[in-house]
Structure formats: C-alpha cells, structure tokens
Amino acid sequence: MSAVGAPEVTENGGPVAGDRAPEGREGAGGSARPRRRTLVIAVSVAVVAAAFVTVLATRPPARVGEANSPLLGQPAPPISGTSIDGVPVDLGAMRGRFVLVNFFASWCGPCHTEQPQLLALSRQAQLVGVVFQDSPSSALSFLRSGGAGWPAMADPQGSTALQWGVRGPPESYLVSPDGTVVAKILGPVTASQADYLRTVMAGTLKSGE
C-alpha cells in the first residue's frame, strides 16, 4: 500500500499513466530549449551579417569612369540640328577633336554639381549638351547661370537619349577625334573622373601616333 499523496510507480520506476511529473522539471527544460534555439539563430544571423560587411569592405572598388555601354568602341550615334540657342550643331563635323556629349537637365541636382568640372574639361574637349526631359528655356537658363558656353540640343521625343542608351541625367560620353566612343561617365563628373577622361584622351592620342 503506497503512502498517501505519493504517486504510484511502475516496476521500472516511472510514474503510472495519469500521474503528473513533479512540476518545475518539464517546464524548465521546455522553456530552455526555445531560448537555446533563439540564441543559435541570432548568432548565425550575426555571423552572416559580419561576413557580408567584411566582403563589402574588402572588395576592390570599381574603377572610375568604367561604366558599361554597348557604345564603347563603336561610332558615336549622330547628333545634328539647331541648338537651343540657335547654333547649328553636327557631331559628325567635329571629327579631329575630342567631344564630350553631356546629357543634363535643369532639375537635376548632380548636373549642377558637375558644372565646374565640365567647364574645366571644355578647355581640352568640345562639349555638346543634350537636354533630357526638360524645356529648352529652362535648360538654357541653367547653362548660362553656370557659365557654360557650349551648344545644347533639345531632345523632346527622347530619341537621342534612346540612341545613346541614357536612362537619366547626368551621363557623359567621350568621343575620340575619329568619332569613336571611348569612355562613359555615369552620374556627375567629379574631379577624379575628369582626370580619368584626361588620361583617356592622352592615351588615345598616344596610341594614334
């Protein structure tokens, strides 16, 4: 006869079905396991995140000015007509000198940022602007306010931008004296990218000697 209040046990020492295990043991073990799983998941996520940050921090940066374009090494698409200030423009007639074709807009903040670099580059190359989704009057005011004296072409239908593969301003393309596209700058022309373009011009001239 078992003692009053003590659970009945089987021959192997386990509790008889229906009897409850002493409180505290199962609860403690059950709550510990989810905590361990949560800790393991958190640590795993932290390790993966740290590895991702390390890869981003240690991989070599993209070389300045090397933007992908199917036009590189190809003849420049034609640009001709009358500029927004009434000057005849023909890219094909500019053979014999470097031309920097710059797609811009007055509403484009980075276009304002790159103006000093474009002004400096205009001493080494002829600049030709192409207005991107902007009115000719706004584009002309923008150029004049920044001291730019190069011609700019309207592109109301976006056909010129489509031919050059332009998605949004600013984008610039360097055309060599023989009419070949030799470099593309995606985004505003910075001081380092302006130096890159000068290096390309110098290398192109040297290879043509």
Residue 198 CB burial class (10 angstroms; 0-12, 13-18, ≥19): middle
What pTM does this model have?
0.68
Q: Which amino acid is at 159?
A: S
Model confidence band, residue 207 (pLDDT cutoffs 50, 70, 90): confident
Whole-number pLDDT of residue 122: 95
Residue 182 has pLDDT above 80, yes or no: yes
pLDDT in tens, 26-71: 444 555 555 666 555 554 544 434 443 333 233 333 333 446 689 9
Of 28-32, 163-167, 199-203, least confident by mean pLDDT is: 28-32
Whole-number pLDDT of residue 69: 83
Whole-number pLDDT of residue 72: 94
User: What does the mean pLDDT of the chain come to?
Assistant: 79
User: Can you tell me the distance from the alpha carbon of 206 to that of 170, in angstroms, rounded to the nearest whole number?
Assistant: 29
User: Can you tell me the distance from the alpha carbon of 166 to that of 68, in angstroms, rounded to the nearest whole number?
Assistant: 12
Q: What is the DSSP letter of 112?
A: H
Whole-number pLDDT of residue 47: 41
Of 175, 176, 160, 149, nearest to 87 by C-alpha is 149
Mean pLDDT computed over 178-203: 95
* Matching CATH number, 80-207, of 3.40.30.10, 3.40.50.620, 3.40.50.720, 3.40.50.150: 3.40.30.10
**Residue spans per domain, the chain:** 15-59, 80-207
pLDDT in tens, 120-141: 999 999 999 999 999 999 999 9
User: Can you tell me the distance from the alpha carbon of 64 to that of 185, in angstroms, rounded to the nearest whole number?
Assistant: 8
pLDDT in tens, 81-134: 999 999 999 999 999 999 999 999 999 999 999 999 999 999 999 999 999 999
